[in-house]
């Protein structure tokens, strides 16, 4: 059994994306994994990239795709250490747009191609986008969060396109089919997150057991049902706090929370401040005049 550890990734910006340059050690560190998805591009040097028992030899320009289940680690050649630009990001960002964007990261490990060779059209398309994200997050000019997210969506759309054409239609069919249950649930949740919602109920929709559906979330998203539901509810709560003058208690129930105490606890856990403090901090900033209440 190979030793591996789960890392908890913290995001350093107002958007759940990190971009950073990194040089792997020249000895082999233990494998690790994390809930966030990752894309790495080798910019210089030599080395290897390990995924479980798979091993890739790395050259500058090569791009690596890391999903939330595979254990992995990069390693530099001693005489010529490699350097990478890495992006890691929360799968929730993709889910907000279209569940299918998660497909490139949900392909079974044995047929998952982690390496995009430097000379491929795909790598050529992705690399400048990665650099732009790094620049945006570094400079933090007005609207950089939207820029970064937009660029990320482009990158992942490129990936989606390429796997839909590279993988034989029959197999692609199989992969998208096994994904369809999740799409049904995810769509339902986005529509009904502000109502009481539990796994049992979702499981019934699919004629599956709740334990099965719980595992499905881990497999597809890398995070549990509760976590994902919370993500949706918090987004709505933030919006209501900033854009309306609804009392906090009302915001709580309107965004789907079932009790005020858990709302305060979870909100503070995510934002670090109480709902009212959040409103005071951000409500002065109206982006569009016509969205004022």
Binding residues for DNA restricted to 227-256, rule: CB under 7 A: 227, 230, 247-249
**Residue 179 makes contact with DNA by CB under 7 A:** no
Longest Cα separation, the chain: 63
Distances (CA, A) of 248 to 10, 19, 85, 234: 28, 35, 42, 13
Nearest to 75 by CA among 122, 38, 35, 40: 40
In eight-state DSSP terms, residue 283 is T
Torsion of Cα atoms, 233 then 236 then 242 then 248, to 10° = -50
Among 8, 165, 170, 261, binds DNA (CB under 7 A): 261
Shortest Cβ distance from residue 175 to DNA (Å)? 12
**Residue 180 makes contact with DNA by CB under 7 A:** no
**Residue 193 makes contact with DNA by CB under 7 A:** no
Angle at 115 between CA 81 and CA 219, to 5 degrees: 115
**Residue 266 makes contact with DNA by CB under 7 A:** yes
Please state, in angstroms and rounded to a whole number, the distance separating the CA atoms of residues 87 and 9.
12
Among 164, 264, 270, 271, binds DNA (CB under 7 A): 264
Please, which residue, 162 or 255, has the CB nearer to DNA? 255
**Residue 92 makes contact with DNA by CB under 7 A:** no
**Residue 204 makes contact with DNA by CB under 7 A:** no
**Residue 214 makes contact with DNA by CB under 7 A:** yes
Among 224, 244, 254, 270, binds DNA (CB under 7 A): 224
Torsion of Cα atoms, 160 then 161 then 165 then 168, to 10° = 20
Among 44, 119, 258, 281, binds DNA (CB under 7 A): 258
Shortest Cβ distance from residue 273 to DNA (Å)? 8
Nearest to 227 by CA among 102, 105, 108, 95: 95
Please, which residue, 110 or 289, has the CB nearer to DNA? 110
**Residue 211 makes contact with DNA by CB under 7 A:** yes
Please state, in angstroms and rounded to a whole number, the distance separating the CA atoms of residues 282 and 293.
15
Contacts of 54 (CB under 8 A, 6+ apart): 114
Shortest Cβ distance from residue 64 to DNA (Å)? 25
Give the binding site for DNA (CB under 7 A). 198-200, 207-212, 214-215, 217-218, 224-227, 230, 247-249, 257-262, 264-266, 268, 274-277
């Amino acid at each position: 059994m190979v030793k591996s550890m789960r890392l908890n990734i913290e995001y350093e910006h107002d958007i759940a994306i990190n971009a950073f340059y990194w040089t792997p050690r020249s000895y082999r560190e233990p494998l690790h994994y994390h809930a966030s998805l990752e894309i790495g591009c080798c910019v210089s040097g030599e080395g290897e990239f390990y995924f479980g028992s798979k091993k890739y030899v790395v050259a500058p320009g090569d791009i690596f795709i890391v999903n939330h289940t595979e254990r992995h680690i990069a390693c530099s050649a001693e005489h010529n250490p490699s350097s990478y630009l890495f992006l890691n990001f929360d799968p929730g960002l993709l889910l907000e747009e279209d569940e299918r964007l998660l497909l490139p990261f949900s392909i079974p490990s044995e047929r998952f191609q982690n390496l995009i060779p430097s000379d491929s059209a795909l790598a050529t398309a992705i690399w400048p986008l990665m650099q732009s994200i790094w620049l945006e997050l570094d400079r933090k000019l007005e609207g950089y969060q939207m820029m970064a997210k937009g660029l990320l969506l482009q990158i992942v759309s490129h990936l989606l396109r390429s796997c839909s054409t590279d993988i034989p239609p029959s197999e692609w069919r199989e992969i998208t089919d096994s994904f369809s249950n999740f799409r049904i649930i995810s769509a339902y949740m986005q529509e009904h997150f502000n109502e009481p919602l539990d796994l049992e109920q979702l499981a019934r929709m699919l004629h599956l057991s709740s334990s099965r559906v719980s595992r499905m979330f881990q497999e597809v998203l890398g995070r549990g049902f509760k976590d994902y539901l919370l993500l949706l509810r918090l987004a709505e709560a933030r919006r209501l706090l900033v854009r309306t003058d609804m009392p906090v208690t009302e915001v709580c129930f309107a965004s789907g929370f079932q009790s005020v105490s858990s709302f305060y606890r979870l909100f503070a856990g995510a934002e670090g401040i109480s709902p009212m403090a959040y409103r005071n901090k951000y409500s002065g900033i109206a982006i569009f005049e016509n969205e004022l209440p």
